[in-house]
Amino acid sequence: MGRFLYSTQAELPPPAQAKKPITLDVLECILSSSEVQGCPHIYAALCISYASLLRLSQFTVEGWPFDPTTQLTCGAVQFLPDLETASQVVITPPPFCSRHRVSIHLASADGFPTCPVSALKLLFTESPRSPDAPLFENADGSALSRQTFISTVGRALLASGLDPTLFGRCPRRGALLSARAVGLDTDSLSTLVGLDFDSGPLYHSVEAPVCEVHVPLELYQRATARST
C-alpha cells in the first residue's frame, strides 16, 4: 500500500505557476518587437483584445472553422465618422456571442502605440476585405488561429527580454486588473464581459497608475449603470 501511495503521489502534476498579466507596459514591449511589427493583423488583435476585453475565442479559431455568428468579422467594425478621419470605432459583437452584451465604443488614444483606433485604421487600409471576412487573419489569409496568436506573443515577449513562461497570452485580464487597481468598479464590468476575477490564483495582482487603464469608457459606464 505504501508503494502504491508513493507512486500515485509521484505522478501528480506540479502546481500551476502564477502568471503575470499583460499590462500596458508589457503590451507596449510586445508591440514594439520585431515579431509583431509589420504584422498588422497580430498588432491590431493585441490592441483590440486589450481595449475591448475580448476573449481569444472571439477573434481566433482552434480546430474549428470560422463562424461569423460567434466571432468578429470585418463588418463588425464601424469607423466614426469614416475610415480616413476616424477618431472612434464601434465594434458590434456577433449575434450569438454571449460574452459581450453591448457594442463597444473605442476612442482614439493619440500618442499611445496601443491605440485601438490607429491599429484598426492601419489594418483596414493595408488589408481591405469583405464585411463577412474574419477580422484578423493568418499570413495565408485564413482566420487567425489561436496557436498563431499565442506563439507570436510568446516570441515577442522573448524578443523583448521577458520570460514568456511567466506571462499569460490574452491582454484582457491585464486591462481589467489594471482597472481594479485604480478603483474602477470591475465587478459589474467583469460580469458584463464574462470574466471572473476569482476564477483561480493563476494571475498575479497588479498595481497600475490611472494612465495604464484603457478600459473602454462607454463599456464601463454601461456596466456600472447596470449595477445601480
Domain boundaries, the chain: 17-227
For residues 31-38, average pLDDT: 95
DSSP annotation of 77 reads E
Q: pLDDT value at position 105?
A: 79
Measured between alpha carbons, how far is 117 from 157 in angstroms, rounded to an integer? 23
Residue range 138-143: mean pLDDT, rounded: 94
The count of other CB atoms within 10 Å of the CB of residue 227 is 11
Q: Poorest-confidence range of 42-46, 115-119, 202-206? A: 202-206
Q: What is the CA radius of gyration of the chain?
A: 19
pLDDT at residue 185 in the model: 61
Q: Is omega for the bond preceding 171 within 30 degrees of 0, making it cis?
A: no
pTM beyond 0.75: the answer is: yes
- Residue 215, all three cell numbers: 478600459
Between the ranges 45-54, 75-84, 188-197, where is the mean pLDDT highest? 75-84
| Strands (DSSP E) found in the chain | 77-80, 88-91, 104-107
Find the mean pLDDT for residues 208-215.
Answer: 39
pLDDT digits (tens, 9 = 90+) for 83-94: 999 988 888 877
Q: What is the mean pLDDT of the chain?
A: 76
Which tops the pLDDT comparison, 225 or 142?
Answer: 142
Q: What is the mean pLDDT of residues 97-126?
A: 82
Report residue 8's pLDDT band, with 50, 70 and 90 as the boundaries.
very low
Count Cβ atoms within 10 A of the Cβ of residue 90 and give its class: 0-12 exposed, 13-18 middle, 19 or more buried: middle
Is residue 121 pLDDT above 50, yes or no? yes
Helix, strand, coil shares of the chain, percent, nearest 5, are 45, 10, 50
Q: Which of 54-68, 94-108, 162-176 has the lowest mean pLDDT?
A: 94-108
For the stretch 162-206, pLDDT in tens is 999 999 888 888 877 766 666 666 555 555 444 443 333 333 333
Report the C-alpha gap between 43 and 120 in whole angstroms: 9
What pLDDT does residue 90 have?
Answer: 87
pLDDT given for residue 188 in this prediction? 55
The third-level CATH classification (topology) of the domain covering 17-227 is hpI Integrase; Chain A (1.10.443)
